[in-house]
Amino acid sequence: MEQGFSGARTKEIAERAGVTEAFLYRHFESKEDMYAVAILDPVREGIGALATDVELIYERYQDPLEFLEALNRRCISFYMEYAPLQTVALYSELANGREFFAESLRPALDRIGEMISDRVGWAARGLDSTIVRRAILGSHWAIGLDYIYRDSEVNVESVAHRLTQLFTAGIIEKKRLPAEKRTGPAG
């Protein structure tokens, strides 16, 4: 994870694992196989499990705010564990990352975006579920990386609540107009 695919050397991997290179190659046919088992498979399985959990949240919470808060809790917890792995999987080797994303992650992520858009009501307002997915899950991913790289503890409940407020409260607080401007001049 530290070196990415190109930078990782099997000799160093073996040393860190406390085994020989020969031992590694008894269990893996190639460096690509090691990378798949250590990075790609966990990310693929993690995103699949996240999509399943979001389906359960979608079924359980009919109220958009309750749904979004539960979604935020689950996704923050997920990205606290998977953000670095996903980053390596997608960006260590860009050509391979694009293919991995398209084949292994995008179908599950698109499904998550569709559920979010539907439950929160954004689909009915014409918002593209891909944009919704990128905004919501991208926020979770960035927050996960930020907490991990700062080596900070995260209060998942608090962060989930604040994100729910951010995603639902809007940006500009509407100012109340004086009564005569709202209803027109009296008279």
Predicted local distance difference test score (pLDDT) of residue 182: 46
Work out the pLDDT band at 4, boundaries 50, 70, 90: low
* Dist CA 32 CA 1 (whole Å): 13
* Cα 111 to Cα 104: distance, rounded to the nearest angstrom: 13
User: Cβ atoms within 10 A of the Cβ of 55, count?
Assistant: 13
Q: Does residue 174 come out as left (phi exceeding 0), alpha (psi in the -120 to 50 range) or beta? A: beta
> In a 10 Å sphere around its CB, with 0-12 CB exposed, 13-18 middle and 19+ buried, how is residue 31 labelled?
middle
pLDDT at res. 161: 95
Mean of per-residue pLDDT scores for the chain: 87
| Domain spans in the chain, listed from the N-terminal domain onward | 7-167
Residue 30: pLDDT band by 50, 70, 90 thresholds? confident
Topology at the third CATH level for domain 7-167 = Tetracycline Repressor; domain 2 (1.10.357)
- What pLDDT, in 10s, does the model give residues 100-159? 999 999 999 999 999 999 999 999 999 999 999 999 999 999 999 999 999 989 999 999
What average pLDDT does this structure show over 37-60? 96
Instruction: Report CA-CA distances (Å) from 58 to 79, 174, 175, 176.
Output: 19, 31, 34, 35
* SS3 label, residue 177: coil
pTM score, two decimals?
0.82
Selected residue with higher pLDDT from 165 and 169: 165
